Amino acid sequence: MLPEGYSIREVKASDHLPYLESLKVLTTVGEISKSQFEELVEYWKKNEVYHPHVVANEKDEVVATGMLLIERKAIHECGLVGHIEDISVAGHQQGKKLGYNMICTLAEKAKQAGCYKVILDCSPHNVEFYEKCGFKNDGTEMVKRF
């Protein structure tokens, strides 16, 4: 359950600064202008792969983020796979289970969309948290950075 007045909704172009502020707990965000953000949100909304969500507080301000990508594959009879990306909870909003609620909501959306599975990559120290969300260890993430 989310705290009273909080809700999970799709991101809006007007979420600019609080959206980026929440993401800063994850990694470098850098300078992204209002118009750049609006263009990005517009792009996400036009492309059916992207399902960007936020937790909004009682003032409808973004306090957490979560992206669901829905990929169309050939395997599993043209199956769909959900990918969860960029789960962040603003620093002053920790401890309210916002991340847990976001994960459960995105996993449920993947299921409703017809995905046969939903996957995500995490640090080893977050495995226990995702197990509480009903996920299981399924492999190793490999990276090549440029």
**Is the Cβ of residue 98 or residue 120 nearer to a copy of itself in the bound state?**
120
Q: 81-98: b or e for each residue (b if 16 or more CB lie within 10 Å)?
A: bbbbeebbbbeebeebeb
User: Is 117 one of the binding residues for a copy of itself (CB under 8 A)?
Assistant: yes
Piece of 1-9, 31-39, 55-63, 91-99 that binds a copy of itself (CB under 8 A): 31-39
Name the residue among 121, 49, 103, 108 with its Cα closest to residue 80.
49
CB of 9 to a copy of itself, least distance (A): 17
Q: Determine, following the binding rule CB under 8 A, whether residue 1 of this chain makes contact with a copy of itself.
A: no
Which residues from 38-77 bind a copy of itself, rule CB under 8 A?
40, 43-44, 47-50, 67, 69, 71-77
